[in-house]
Amino acid sequence: MRADLDFDSHGTRCSAWHFPAADDALAGPGGRPCVVMGHGFGATKDAGLEPFAERFAAAGLDVVIFDYRGYGTSDGDLRQNVHHLRHREDYHAAVAAARALDGVDPDRIIVWGSSYSGGHVIAVAAQDTRIAGVVSQGAAMDGLAAVLLILRYAGPLQLLRLTAHALRDIVGSWLGRKPHLIPVVGPPGSLAAITPEGAEVGYTHIMGPTFRNEMCARGILPIMVNRPVTFASKVAVPTMLVLATQDNVAPPSAVRAVAKKLAGRVQVETFDVGHFDIYVGETFEKSVAAQTAFLTGL
């Protein structure tokens, strides 16, 4: 039942999938609830999100999964540019598109995020008070904490290398050169944005055919100032946080900090697994069941 859906974000076409609800079991006077889903750092909509969407749709929720500008099948002159502010803008545009869908209640939109987007949805919900709920799993809630984590597992030389490549890309853009690209993920010790043990295998297991393991190097610099934790106190809607206690990509301590700051009802589902284990196997089954119960209860 999946259908293609396009919407505009700041003059650029974004590509999305719409999963209609299987029935009207959750419909109210204004229509059905809808979950808007975006992916994480450098990822695309075909990277492990569809199984979640299918479960939510089967439970009576509409679902929209989208690609950020410059990613996957979305348009965009600047490709592979990771920037949290642009991604949040695309989330807002996707929410507007979901509100315009036939049969969807515009006041029952839930934003869902994972990894880097797990932080985006906190900021988006703080900025859009019509949002009805939030689901955030394995979230990157504090860029400063993430940079300190890189420092611990890769050392200061890795941070210096990444910064040098970022500056090379920025200066090149001023001179009209093509973007300077580096890998999103790689093995420990390699030149890539994400290099902890197991990350390369984790990405490989979930990434879809439109994923490209490359990013504009300039995207390294905004990471430190991407701090969704600072928005948490402004989020007053019900929020589910899925916490992976062995996460070596997105610091779990930052997720716990967000849980304490949120102004609305908070449900924390904790799993003793790593960052990528929440997408597959038994952990996925337990997590998606808990998420579905949370969503259908809103």
Per-residue confidence (pLDDT) for residue 234, from 0 to 100 = 98
User: Can you tell me the distance from the alpha carbon of 114 to that of 86, in angstroms, rounded to the nearest whole number?
Assistant: 17
Say whether pLDDT at 1 is over 90.
no
Cα angle, residue 129 at apex, residues 104 and 242 outer, rounded to 5°: 80
By C-alpha distance, which of 100, 117, 122 is closest to 31?
Answer: 100
Instruction: Name the amino acid, one letter, at 279.
Output: Y
DSSP secondary structure string, 71-115?
Answer: STTS--SS-S---HHHHHHHHHHHHHHHHTSTTEEEEEEEEEEET
Per-residue confidence (pLDDT) for residue 223, from 0 to 100 = 95
pLDDT, tens digit, for every residue of 220-255? 999 999 999 999 999 999 999 999 999 999 999 999
Asked whether the whole model's pTM tops 0.85, one would answer: yes
- Domains defined for the chain, CATH in brackets: 3-296 (3.40.50.1820)
Say whether pLDDT at 118 is over 90.
yes
- Which pair of structure tokens corresponds to residue 161? 């290398």
